[in-house]
Structure 1
Amino acid sequence: MTLQERIQAFVNLGKTLENLSEEEFETLSRRVENNNNWFTQEQTRSALEGLQVFLQEKALADWLGKYDLVSIESPRKIGVLMAGNVPAVGFHDFMTVLLSGHEFHGKLSSNDEVLMKWLAEELVAAEPRFADYIYFESMLKGMDAYIATGSDNSARYFEYYFGKYPNIIRKNRSSVAVFTGEEGEKDYLALGHDIFQYYGLGCRNISKVFLPNEEQLQDFLKAIQPFESVINHHKYRNNYDYNKSIYLVNQQPHLDNGFLLLTKGEGLVSPISVLYYEIYEDQQELESKLSSYTDKIQCVVSKEGQLKNSLPFGDAQCPGLEDYADNVDTMAFLIDLK
C-alpha cells in the first residue's frame, strides 16, 4: 500500500465512526461496558468522538507531512503492549505503526480488548490489505521493536525483557492544573471535564492542582456540582466511600462536596475520587515545582492556557496527533527502524 492508501483507509474509518447509527453504537457500547464496567456508554462515545478528530484527512496529512515516510520494502514487526485505562487508549500507537508501514502486533489489555478489536475490524473492512499487517497476540515474542505502556513498576520488567531491542517504554504519568486566583465558575466547569472524564482513570486526567491559597477551593467545589452524577457509578462510589473513610479514621484534613475529596499532598497521582492540591508562594516556586516533575507530568492546564506550555482548562482530554505519550515521538522512532 502507498502512504496515501493507508491514510485513506483511516479517513474511511473516521467516516464509519461518524456514520455509526445509534443502534449500532448502543450494541457496541454495551459490549464494551460488559467487558469493563468503567467504560460506560458515555465514555465510549467520548472516545469515538475524539478519534473522529484524529481521522480527518487534513489532520492526518498535516501530521504526516512533517516526516519522510518512504516506502518500506521489509516491514518490521512492532510489538505493542497496550494500556487499558480508558477506551481505545492504544489507538494512537495502533494507527502510528500502521501508517508508518510496519506490522502491528498488539497485546491488548483485557480491559480494552472489545473496542480495539472492533476498530481493527472496521479498518480492515475499509482496507482489506491491512489484514496482513494487524495481529493480536497473547505473547509478544520475536518482535523487531517494542512499544510498551505501563506503570513505573511494570516498566522495570519491560526494560528487562525488551531492553536489547529498539523500544519505547512508558511509565506512570499524570496531569495537573494551575490556579492563579483569577479563575471563575466557567473555568472551574471546564476543569471539571479534565478531572471527571473517564472517571479520572487516564494519564491526561487532572489529579492535582497547584494554587496560591486555599480560599478559592470552596468556590471550585461549588462550581463543579454539575459533575455530581459520577457518584452514581458503583465503582467510583466505592472508591469515594473508601477514601473518605480513610481520611475520617485518620483524621486527615480534607474538603468534600459529596463526590470529590480534596486533600493537601505533595504526590501527583491521586486515588480515584480524590484531587490533591499544593500551595505555591510565587511564580518562581511554581515553576520550580513543575520543573521537578517534568518526567512525571503528561500535561498542564491553566486558565485559557496562560501558563507557558499549558493547555486551557477543558482541553486536557483533547490531544492532537502530535501530542505523543511521554513526549516521545513514536513516528520518528518507527521511521528510524527502516
Structure 2
Amino acid sequence: MLLHDRIAALHELGRWVESHPDVLEIAVLKSMKDNPWFTRQNIELSLCAIAEKYLEKDKLLEWTKTYDFEDLSALNIGVIAAGNIPLVGIHDLICVFVSGASAKVKLSAKDAHLIPAFIEQLIHIFPQAAAQLHIVDKITGVEAVIATGSDNTSRYFKSYFGHLPNIIRKNRNSVAILTGSETVDDMIGLAKDIFSYFGLGCRNVSMLHVPEGYDFTPLIEVFKSEYPLINDHPKYRNNYEYNLACSMLNNDQLIVSEPVLLYKRLSLLSRIATLHYWPYKDLNEVKNWLDSNRNSIQCVVGAAGARAVWHDMVEPGQAQQPALSDYADGVDTLAFINNLNQPV
C-alpha cells in the first residue's frame, strides 16, 4: 500500500466524519453513556477538529512531504491511548498508519467506542488497512511503543516497555500570558482554551500569567457569557463545590467566580473547575519561568502583545486546534516511527 493510497483513505475518512453517519452517532451515544465527561458538545468539538486539521488531503500531503519513508510494513508499534478527552489517541494512530507500520492499539476504558468506529470505517474505505490496525487487550509482540498517560502511569510504562524504543508521555499543562491589552475576541478565545473538554486536556490552559494589578472582571464576565451552563454539569459542579469548600476551610487566597475558581498559585497543575494565576512585573520574568518549566508545558497561549515571550505562541482559541505537525510534548512521532527502520 503506497503513501498516496493511505492519504487518500484518511481524506475519505475525514469526509465520513463530517457526514456524521448513524454508525458514528452510535459510537457518540455509547461514549456519552459510559463517560459523563464526554458530552456531545465536547465529542463534536473533537470530531470537527480532527476532520479539519488531520483528515484533509492537502494538509496530509504537506505534513508528509518532508519525510523519506522507509518500508515499515513488518514493524509493529504498540499504541496506548489516553482517555482524558475524546479521541485523544487518534493522532498517534494516524502517524502509525501513514508510516506504513502496523498499530496494536490498547484503548482507554474511558474512550472505548470512538477510535474503534474510526478504525472500522478506515478498513471499510481501504480493506488493506485491516493488516495495519488492531485493537488489543494487551501490548505484546511489538518493536516500539507510544504511550500516553500521567506521571504515575508513565513509571509503569517505562518499567514494562523501557527496553524498547518508545515515546512515553507524562502530565503536561498549558499556560496563557495576558498583558491587559487583550480584545474581547482574545478573551473569548482564551475561555475556549480553558473550558473546552472541562479543562481535562493537556492543551487546556490551567494557569495565567497576568500583569500586577490585573483586573479580572472583564475576563470573568466573558467566562460567564461564553460558558453559562458548564456548572450545570454534575461532575464539574461537584468539583467546583468541593474545591470551594476546601478553600474556605483552609482560608486559601482565591477569587470566587463562576464558572471557575481562581487561585494565586505559581503552579501549572490546577484541579478541575479551578484556574491558577500569577502576577508579573515584566515579561522577562514570564520568559524565564517558561524556560525553566518547558518540560511540563504543552503549549503557551498569548495574543499579539505577548508574542515575543515564547517561540511558538498559540493564538487564543487555537489551543485545542493542533495541526498534524503539532506533536505532543514536541516529539516528532512520525520521525520516531520512520527512524525505527534505520540501522543502529
- The residue that corresponds to 2:307 in the other structure is 306
The answer to whether the Cα contact below 8 Å between 1:254 and 1:263 also exists between their aligned partners in 2 is yes
- The residue that corresponds to 1:288 in the other structure is 288
The C-alpha deviation readout for 1:170-223, integer Å capped at 9, x for no partner, is 111000000112123222111000001001000000000001124321221112
**1:129: how far off?**
1.0
The C-alpha deviation readout for 1:88-121, integer Å capped at 9, x for no partner, is 0000000100110111001110001111111111
CA distance in 1, matches of 2:100, 2:321: 26
TM score, norm. by length of structure 2: 0.95
- The residue that corresponds to 1:75 in the other structure is 74
RMSD over aligned CA atoms reads 1.4
CA distance in 1, matches of 2:154, 2:175: 22
The answer to whether the Cα contact below 8 Å between 2:24 and 2:117 also exists between their aligned partners in 1 is no
The answer to whether the Cα contact below 8 Å between 2:95 and 2:333 also exists between their aligned partners in 1 is yes
The answer to whether the Cα contact below 8 Å between 2:206 and 2:270 also exists between their aligned partners in 1 is yes
CA distance in 2, matches of 1:191, 1:214: 19
- The residue that corresponds to 1:320 in the other structure is 323
The 3-state SS of whatever aligns with 2:182 is coil
Q: Name the count of aligned residue pairs.
A: 336
Q: Can you give the 5+ residue segments of structure 1 that lack an aligned partner in the other structure?
A: none
**1:25: how far off?**
5.3
The answer to whether the Cα contact below 8 Å between 2:24 and 2:114 also exists between their aligned partners in 1 is no
**1:28: how far off?**
3.3
- The residue that corresponds to 1:143 in the other structure is 142
Q: Which amino acid aligns with 2:324?
A: L
- The residue that corresponds to 1:37 in the other structure is 36
- The residue that corresponds to 1:48 in the other structure is 47
The answer to whether the Cα contact below 8 Å between 1:144 and 1:166 also exists between their aligned partners in 2 is yes
- The residue that corresponds to 2:114 in the other structure is 115
- Bigger Cα displacement from structure 2, 194-203 vs 303-312: 303-312
2:332 aligned with 1:329 = yes
**1:26: how far off?**
4.3
Task: Map residues 220-235 of structure 1 onto 2, 5 A cutoff.
Answer: 220-226=219-225, 227-235=227-235
The C-alpha deviation readout for 1:34-65, integer Å capped at 9, x for no partner, is 12111111111111101111111000000000
**1:158: how far off?**
1.3
Task: Map residues 110-259 of structure 1 onto 2, 5 A cutoff.
Answer: 110-226=109-225, 227-259=227-259
CA distance in 2, matches of 1:109, 1:14: 23
Task: Map residues 71-110 of structure 1 onto 2, 5 A cutoff.
Answer: 71-72=71-72, 74-110=73-109
Q: Which amino acid aligns with 2:187?
A: Y
- Bigger Cα displacement from structure 2, 55-64 vs 34-43: 34-43
Q: Which amino acid aligns with 2:65?
A: G
The answer to whether the Cα contact below 8 Å between 1:11 and 1:57 also exists between their aligned partners in 2 is yes
Q: Can you give the 5+ residue segments of structure 2 that lack an aligned partner in the other structure?
A: none
The C-alpha deviation readout for 1:134-190, integer Å capped at 9, x for no partner, is 111111122110111111122122112111111111111000000112123222111
**1:322: how far off?**
0.2
CA distance in 2, matches of 1:248, 1:67: 55
The answer to whether the Cα contact below 8 Å between 1:2 and 1:71 also exists between their aligned partners in 2 is no
The answer to whether the Cα contact below 8 Å between 1:69 and 1:335 also exists between their aligned partners in 2 is yes
TM score, norm. by length of structure 1: 0.96
The 3-state SS of whatever aligns with 1:68 is coil
CA distance in 1, matches of 2:3, 2:188: 41
**1:224: how far off?**
1.6
